[in-house]
Amino acid sequence: MANVAVIGAQWGDEGKGKVVDWLASRAEIVVRFQGGHNAGHTLVVGDQTYKLSLLPSGVVRGKLGIIGNGVVLDPEALLSEIAKVGAQGLKVTPENLRIAENVPLILPLHPALDQAREAARGGDKIGTTGRGIGPAYEDKVGRRSIRLCDLAEPETLSAKLDELLLHHNALFRGLGAPQFQKQPLLDRLLELAPLLLPFSEAVWERLDAARASGKRVLFEGAQAVMLDVDHGTYPYVTSSNTVAGNAAAGAGVGPDTIGMVLGIAKAYSTRVGSGPFPSELHDDVGKGLGDRGFEYGTVTGRRRRCGWFDACMVRQAVKVGGINGIALTKLDVLDGMAELKINTGYRINGELVKRLPAAMKAQAAAEPVYEVLEGWSGSTRGARSYADLPAQAVKYVRRIEELVEAPVVLLSTSPERDDTITLRDPFAG
């Protein structure tokens, strides 16, 4: 049986949490391989709703969760999340959570810099969550990061803080923002060390052993392909590579370990924050999608922008993300709509193109080219087989498959874990 990597095929918020939770029941290890606590997964399990930002979704199902080196980890956010799920009866210990010893840490200066930069941009804000993800990744590639393993070496930690503050305080001075003092940061990190180090290990060794013994591994991505720092709608993107190719580097395994790549897509489109959104709806239809789909960000609480399904964009995500199959979510939100539209391309300055361009002005100028489909009057909510779906709903799904050039292998018809139509087992490869 193959391993599976799950990534978003749009702009995030596609319902990855439910799908990962569903798949985790059949995996033995779940690995988070990129991003930070700017991403959120909502899992509905019986009468409990878990909102996770850092914890791999598998811990809810009693599976081993791993936070890989490709993540940037806020220690305070992690401990807060562990306490929060603990209050719901879910115990997280070093027995069911391991963290890569080389994971970079998000310190208080990172969100401070994130927020100061956004304020300085004025009306040109990128729309970040302000949680320090970007600045933490900058420090990683700038070779300034404080990593989890550094907490075990106080002298190393102290010297690295000197270098880090030399860089960041110069930025804060330039932005007219308060500077950070070393001692409070050092003291807090030393307090956190005994709380975090028991979770630390060379997770690549554990994953190599899992590969050798044939254990199923689920690789869990955050955000989505169109927020990828290379392939997304730059600069309105996240600060990491969200495509499946990064699952190997972000977990410490070879690319042949990844297995099937499952792309999650909503039956319509949403986006949080700034940036281009060609199929966005500013009318009552868009408002209705948001209301019925309860479109509020798990992390930000901000209302998501809503629009028609953009098949041209998802096709692009399929190609650059290495997606082998689609898990289509929230089909039930479209119930009762007389007419549906799918974007099949863009008209840019009079020219028809079949991809979202990389340049900012061209992205902003992209106008959707719609194909109109008949809606359905029946209900898809809770359906667990194709036979339970209205005929027009099946036609809608089939048309999406044709346009994105990838099969729909899973179909989610409600937030409930078991309301899922399985057309192909992702673990079968």
Catalytic positions: 13, 41
Q: Where are the beta strands (DSSP E) in 58-117?
A: 64-67, 97-100
Q: For the chain, what's the residue count?
A: 429
Query: CA-to-CA distance for 276 and 232, rounded, in angstroms?
Result: 10
CA distances (Å), 118 to each of 82, 180, 237, 369, 373, in order?
29, 19, 14, 33, 41
Q: How many CA atoms lie within 13 A of 147 on its CB side?
A: 17
Tokens encoding 321? 């993300």
Strand, helix or coil for residue 50 = strand
Query: CA-to-CA distance for 229 and 234, rounded, in angstroms?
Result: 7
Strand, helix or coil for residue 373 = strand
What are the b/e assignments for 85-106, b being 16+ CB within 10 Å? beeeebebeeebbbbbbbbbbb
